[in-house]
């Protein structure tokens, strides 16, 4: 199946700094990528939908100035957590759907464990 690579897998940063997470589709083109946040023992919460060449669409309650999303190419989307605080510590997962493939399946990155100290 298609591969989505997410980097880094773990990151620890100091409060007040910014962290960038990359999501790449390695062998397919993804017009749309999704960013999720997952708290311990909970389901995935959609944060935003990232569209190549245009602004991301954020879900209600997600601060767009804090979680900056850039989708500069058909294979790369980035999520930047700006001025991180301890409450931003979480597991972040991206996913992408193959624009040229069969409809349906989404492919997920391996996730990024962010810890803000």
Q: Which parts of this chain interact with other proteins (CB under 8 A)?
A: 1, 4, 6, 9, 31-32, 34, 41-44, 46, 49, 91, 93, 95, 97-99, 101-111, 113
Backbone angles phi, psi at 38, to 5 degrees: -130, 120
Q: Which helix (H) or strand (E) holds 93?
A: strand 90-97
Tokens 């767009």 correspond to what residue? 64
Three-class DSSP category at 40: coil
Between 32 and 82, whose beta carbon lies closer to other proteins? 32
To the nearest whole angstrom, how small is the minimum distance from the Cβ of residue 6 to other proteins?
7
Q: Under a CB-based contact definition with an 8 Å cutoff, are residues 21 and 7 in contact?
A: yes
To the nearest whole angstrom, how small is the minimum distance from the Cβ of residue 63 to other proteins?
19
| Integer Cα distance of 25 and 10 in angstroms | 19
Between 29 and 82, whose beta carbon lies closer to other proteins? 29
Between 68 and 91, whose beta carbon lies closer to other proteins? 91
């Amino acid at each position: 199946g298609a591969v989505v690579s997410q980097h880094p897998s773990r990151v620890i940063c100091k409060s007040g700094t910014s962290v960038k997470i990359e999501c790449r589709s390695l062998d397919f083109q993804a017009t749309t990528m999704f960013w999720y946040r997952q708290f311990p023992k909970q389901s995935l919460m959609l944060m935003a939908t990232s569209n190549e060449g245009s602004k991301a669409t954020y879900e209600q309650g997600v601060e767009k100035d804090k979680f900056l999303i850039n989708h500069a190419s058909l294979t790369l989307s980035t999520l930047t957590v700006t001025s991180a605080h301890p409450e931003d510590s979480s597991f972040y997962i991206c996913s992408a759907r193959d624009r040229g493939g069969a409809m349906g399946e989404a492919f997920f990155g391996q996730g990024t464990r962010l810890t803000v100290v």
